[in-house]
Homo-oligomer: A and B are copies of this chain.
């Protein structure tokens, strides 16, 4: 495998900074201090125009004066100095850079131009860079931290790629208190060169990284994002937060890193397609990421809930159950074993609730071990293991009753060796997740954190982290994704499109749209175009009554509610009446479409839209009047593998409609999967097609039939899907 461009950037043998000096209130200085103080063993070369020495290291007046070409250049300088400096580094042979400086694309037109110049300079020298407008990197494996915040503690297992630098700087003290530790973290800033996808790819290959967290404001190269993630997610969990999917989120992201955002529901589908678990807060991004990075996989749905407190036990059971986990009652044998250990009024059936009880060994070792070794559950949620946190709170009250005992001596009375307690997940290969209202100041919380067992400060959060393990167990068992082979382009389709394009039309008419689909073997309603009463009558006779009569012209893309459609015509006289009515409503001389009358028992819709960053996406949803009212639709980026088309099909909230339902047969799912897959190929085979709308797709018996369709051509104005 070729070395990843981030490998050298994340593992430099030498780093030069420009912008770090001796003023401790300057960002550059603080960042240089992180390099110097946090354990990095490579060489450090500060470039400074006036200082002889920076932070105790010999300083060099210019890039040209450096004793060697550093592996990595880091620029924390005013915007206009960035490109010239990058040029200087290029000239001495440096090929990796981190550009912290802001003021580029995120600020508007002038900034965008400056960023282009920067990229041009980098390209000229083959320099690969992070930023501009980023906060740097952390590589805990080599104790390298170039951010403004100090990094302490041993190396971790969670990789982060973030479009916000805050999530590897301001949050470091927060993460330390929560026992969460990065393997490597990358702030991608404006993504002038190396981007979130590069970082994802790098973390996917990185052996230290056991799970990956992504903070996303917008994705530029959707296809590569999906393919990169799909390669990683079968063996390494990825969680992501996306915040660009509202008007306010999109606007905020644009002014932050110039990110190009798309609708929330599109990203929702694309993250599923990528095999990524979506979260909705940075707390879950870290907490679920850490759980996935540290705990053994969940091998089934059965969990035990162990607690000293009914409320948290009930809340954990409820939250876990609501998300798809089971809290099965224990067997009589297991209950009997637990019953023998606990107060008579305590419950032992799962949840086990010891009630207020000071024997924490029972709660945190004896019973979890019984439960884990029983084979009756696949994971354990534990609330109430607490020691010094509670005892320290109680000490002022009870101190008089322990004459002569200091607080520390008092706490020592209750201190236990917790090594066996925290070894349980590894010993039994089952996940253990802790809920505690006591933070790292409690010795239990501290011991769990030190042993890489996640501790959450609310029972529901612990349960949701267990649900993240469940989601990942589903993803890891996902059907294989075989990249689809696109079919040959159909000559008939080309002909239809070219004709429309060359006559400057904005869309195909219904007949053409369906002919296009038919050229790719879509099941469309049988129909004839008729330019006269006689033709209409002949068509109806050929198709067989009942039929439908519709106006059919590219200037009439939307026909509903305008007197342009007549359904269920049962004889020739009604047909002629309808023909004339349509002529009247549409304008004389326009052709009509005479179609078979399809009696559907269910109604769906599918389509192709173009989405920022992702190009053509396929939509599938409930059809008919419910399309708008219920907004039960899902998206995937084209092209679709069979697995992806099948997942799209069954991702409807109303997926029950696809099965045998109220006396109706099951829908031919294979036919719909095929249809969605074919649909996803069309915009790739025919880039002139900007949007395609198949609405409705009726289910006749069990078979789908496309009853109306509209293809919108590129360059045409058409309101976007949102």
Contact = CB atoms under 8 A, between A and B. Distances in A.
A625 B33 contact: no
B402 A351 contact: no
Interface stretch (A352-360, A482-490, A502-510): A352-360
A402 B317 contact: no
A149 interface: yes
Nearest to A344: B103
Closest 3 pairs (CB-CB, A-B): A164-B311, A249-B318, A256-B310
Given A166-B309, A311-B164, A389-B173, A394 B457 contact: no
Contacts of A314: 164, 217, 243-244, 249, 252-253, 256
B662 A318 contact: no
A613 to B, nearest CB: 16
A397 interface: yes
Nearest to A310: B256
A403 to B, nearest CB: 11
A647 interface: no
Contact of A626 (B150, B401, B626): B626
Contacts of A111: 345
A349 interface: yes
Contact of A248 (B29, B326, B561): B326
Nearest to A282: B458
B318 A244 contact: yes
A248 B321 CA distance: 6
A657 B632 CA distance: 14
A281 B662 contact: no
Contacts of A654: 626, 629-630
A315 B245 CA distance: 10
B79 A163 contact: no
A661 interface: yes
B349 A255 contact: yes
A281 B133 CA distance: 37
In this complex, the member of A246, A310, A319 whose beta carbon has the largest number of chain B beta carbons within 10 angstroms is A310
Nearest to A397: B33
A245 to B, nearest CB: 7
Contacts of A56: 400
Nearest to A627: B662
Interface residues of A, number: 120
Contact of A281 (B27, B149, B326, B460): B460
Nearest to A602: B625
A43 interface: no
Contacts of A25: 358
Contacts of A630: 630, 632, 653-654
User: How many subunits of this chain does the assembly comprise?
Assistant: 2
Given A345-B103, A390-B170, A397-B150, A252 B318 contact: yes
Contact of A356 (B27, B79, B311): B27
A251 interface: yes
8 contacts: A24-B401, A27-B356, A33-B397, A164-B314, A165-B356, A249-B318, A253-B310, A628-B661
A589 B595 CA distance: 45
Given A165-B310, A256-B347, 14 more contacts: A24-B401, A27-B356, A106-B345, A106-B347, A163-B311, A170-B437, A171-B437, A174-B439, A249-B317, A251-B349, A264-B322, A282-B459, A560-B662, A628-B662
A281 B148 CA distance: 34
A33 B438 contact: no
Contacts of A162: 311
In this complex, the member of A245, A314, A386, A397 whose beta carbon has the largest number of chain B beta carbons within 10 angstroms is A314
A148 to B, nearest CB: 7
Given A389-B173, A397-B30, A397-B150, A311 B256 contact: yes
A353 B256 contact: yes
Nearest to A399: B24
A64 B457 CA distance: 46
Interface in A661-711: 661-664
A398 interface: yes
A329 B327 CA distance: 48
Contact of A396 (B29, B37, B656, B664): B37
A77 interface: no
A50 interface: no
A107 interface: yes
